[in-house]
Chain A
Amino acid sequence: DVKVTQSSRYLVKRTGEKVFLECVQDMDHENMFWYRQDPGLGLRLIYFSYDVKMKEKGDIPEGYSVSREKKERFSLILESASTNQTSMYLCATLVRASTGELFFGEGSRLTVL
């Protein structure tokens, strides 16, 4: 079974703090993704990576950066958190390229005060 583990389920941070969200997958998949989910807006892609040290911007990359030093780990970084980054963050890996099926982690609920 695929496993995608997100390091923190719930975080509370203050405006201006640096935030790290980590995601680890155990199936040697190449493609990994970071989404945020907000009510009424669905899932919006922040960044994705198709290989170690490779990254591509998604639809809403502003205010975020990512790191993929090892194949199994894809980190999302908020350099200086702001209140409008309060959201549910979802990491995913591509489990079936032929159909585009993604497997998601359980999510990280971030609140920025």
Chain B
Amino acid sequence: DQQVKQNSPSLSVQEGRISILNCDYTNSMFDYFLWYKKYPAEGPTFLISISSIKDKNEDGRFTVFLNKSAKHLSLHIVPSQPGDSAVYFCAASDNTGNQFYFGTGTSLTVIP
């Protein structure tokens, strides 16, 4: 049973515009939510995270928003750049350090 869901397999955005990637989860006990970015033939790299006690975290062009009542988080990239084209995975962790739940990924294409 998928505890973290990314319902959009792909997204295309014009360079300079905002990219919004969405993620839903089912378990209200998750401690942290993370976004990873993956280029083809490479391993995922950590992008940004947010604690379950916060509703926003910002790092440069990347902002993650958490809506706990809706069990929904989103990653905003603004402005989008062609180098942002990659697959983005949403993930959630509990506080054991052993359990991580990944979404199925959203492939972002930023069109120059």
Contacts and interface: CB of A to CB of B under 8 A. Distances in A.
Given A43-B89, A105-B43, A99 B103 contact: no
B42 interface: yes
Contact of B49 (A37, A43, A99, A106): A99
B14 interface: no
Contacts of A90: 43-44
B9 A104 contact: no
A40 B104 contact: yes
Interface in B25-79: 31-32, 34, 36, 38, 41-46, 49, 51
Contacts of B102: 35, 42-44
Given A42-B102, A101-B49, A107 B97 contact: no
A42 B102 CA distance: 7
Label chain A's interface by main secondary structure. strand
A26 interface: no
B91 interface: yes
Interface residues on A, range: 20 to 34
Interface string A91-109: 0101001111111111101
A100 B32 CA distance: 7
Contact of A50 (B38, B43, B98): B98
Interface string A40-66: 111111001010000010000000000
A31 interface: yes
B93 interface: yes
A103 B32 CA distance: 16
A107 B45 contact: no
Task: Tell which of B44, B94, B103, B105 has the most Cβ of chain A within 10 Å.
Answer: B44
B98 A102 contact: no
B105 A107 contact: no
A90 B39 CA distance: 13
Interface of B: 6, 9, 31-32, 34, 36, 38, 41-46, 49, 51, 89, 91-94, 97-98, 100, 102-105
